[in-house]
Amino acid sequence: MRLTLAMGALLLLACPVSAQNGTPDGTQNGAMGPARSPVAFPQVTGVPVPLESVSGRFSSLNPLHQLDCPYNKVSGRVVSPSLILVKELACGRTPHDNLLVNVKFGNPADAAQMVMGRQVVITGRFKRAEEDRDSVFVAGFLIAEKAGVVTGDPIDPSAPPAQAFTSYMICQPPELDGLARELGSELCVQSSIVADLTATGPALETAARGPAKLSPQDTVPGDPGAISCRLDPGVSDRHLSAIACARNSYWAWYQAKWRDPLSSKPAPP
């Protein structure tokens, strides 16, 4: 069910499995079906990477209204091979800090220098974009095009991998195509959950099969580290009606972000 075509074609291709005379778990008209096997979570590469909004709550393959920013160099902390967290960047709407910047390298080999937690200096053509998501949020995007890493902290190959220090929502992660197909819905999942599906897969699958109908103002009680899912129509991704899954600590952050959209606190890992 992975949708990687042009933005205008996304809705045309979304075809829920549950509409095909059965239910997502393989039963027919409510009857008991055969025991369901756990969904496999393969590692997939070589697919388009959606752009993340400045907070990481929203994503887009091609955000609208792109305009140039008056920058050619920024410093930030590496979040992923295509994201850095910049302390402060004023471009467009009211400036605030701790912003995610999408990095599109002119030389793809530069992605090897994007080691999580490393402080780097990026040059490129910087742009901003905006998309309306609901009555409260206008999702803002920052993009560095034809980017290059000009300097950064030393890399120690013997050092253990750095732990995630923030997170973001990934819509349509290819590793979850099998689960999305069974559910008949697209999925938007917290990045730190997708990063370790061997450990998180069973809890994610259970939560995704029973999403709650909650508004952004609602939190989920219980263990902050527990994974929970909610129906997320047209919010995480402007073109999709999705199920969004994250740890409860993330949903608490999102509740605070909803109340104060200019809050500079990054999402929890």
**Is residue 247 predicted with pLDDT exceeding 90?**
yes
Give the residues across from 84 on adjacent strands: 78, 101
What secondary structure letter does DSSP report for 206?
Answer: H
- Distance in angstroms (rounded) separating the CA atoms of residues 61 and 7: 7
Calculate mean pLDDT across residues 137-148: 91
pTM: 0.81
List pLDDT tens digits, range 1-13: 444 333 333 333 3
Structure tokens at 107: 């030389």
- Distance in angstroms (rounded) separating the CA atoms of residues 103 and 96: 19
List pLDDT tens digits, range 46-87: 567 789 999 998 888 888 889 999 889 999 999 999 999 999
Domain ranges within the chain, ordered by starting residue:
51-152, 163-269
Beta carbons within 10 angstroms of residue 143's beta carbon: 20
Name the nearest CA neighbour of 168 among 90, 60, 246.
246
Name the nearest CA neighbour of 86 among 167, 157, 237, 96.
96
Would you identify the CATH topology of the domain 51-152?
OB fold (Dihydrolipoamide Acetyltransferase, E2P) (2.40.50)
